[in-house]
Amino acid sequence: GCFWCAEQAYEQYAPGVIEVVSGYAGSDGIESPTYRNHPGHYEVILIEYDPNSTSYELLLQYAWRNLDPFDKYGQFCDRGFSYQSALFYANEEEKLIAEQVRSKVLDLHPDWDNESVVVPLLERPFFWRAEGYHQDYYIKNPWNYEYYKERCGRTKRLKEVWGEEQYNCYHDLDLSCFNKTAVNEDGVSIEAVVNVKNAPEESGKVRGAPVWGIIVAVVFAVGVLCLLVVGFMTPSCKKKSSIEEGKDESVVEKEAADLP
């Protein structure tokens, strides 16, 4: 799905995450992809994490709770190949873990049809870093980000798929569902650390328009106001000119009458 939202989900809520980078990856993708031109690539995130504070398995559990596993055409409002969901592994050990986590997810939801869960597990291809303006977008442009996320229906759909309780558990800075603990790569339960960037929480407000939309609306309103003001002043100016011309003619006539 959209890497903006995936970046926020991991940096704010997943234990042990140090840094998340937005980018592009695809085994059949072109060289040097860009946002405007990345055929064959998924929009992905690269996660830097501390194995002493979390684990690949735990991060996969967070990945599942942040996607719609039934949508094979994209994610939420975003359509197309680059927005389809996929989970990547770096080696056979990670592949086995990824398969086990998938099985556990299906075990927790016996009503889900295995064939309808369309999230592929893929060998990790080369990662291409996305443009700078995409990095930390949720921090640098909170208003636009919240508008996009709300309008895209991401939170609403995740709650429909996973349930309100599960969604809240995996989007909780206090990790109250997990007793504020996390299991690391050694299988040791430790005190969880999240949101190392100390990014502010979302406001929760419904944004009526993105910032650029508000600017356009204000400029348009000012333009209309200027036109109205000019339209109001033009007749007044013409009227004033007519009066002054009348005065000038009267003066000329009076001067002519005073001539001997």
Could you give the C-alpha distances from 175 to 2, 67, 168, 229, in angstroms and in order? 24, 19, 9, 58
Is 152 part of the annotated catalytic residue set? no
Of 3, 244, 4, nearest to 137 (Cα)?
4
Pairwise CA distance, residues 169 & 192, whole Å: 14
Neighbours of 43 (CB within 10 A): 26
Tell me whether strands 87-89 and 121-123 are parallel, antiparallel or unpaired: parallel
Of 142, 131, 139, nearest to 211 (Cα)?
142
Neighbours of 135 (CB within 10 A): 18
Of 87, 7, 84, nearest to 47 (Cα)?
7
CB 119 within 8 A of CB 85: yes
Q: How many CA atoms lie within 13 A of 156 on its CB side?
A: 9
CB 171 within 8 A of CB 14: no
Catalytic residue, from 2, 5, 152, 237: name it.
2
CB 56 within 8 A of CB 124: no
Residues involved in catalysis:
2
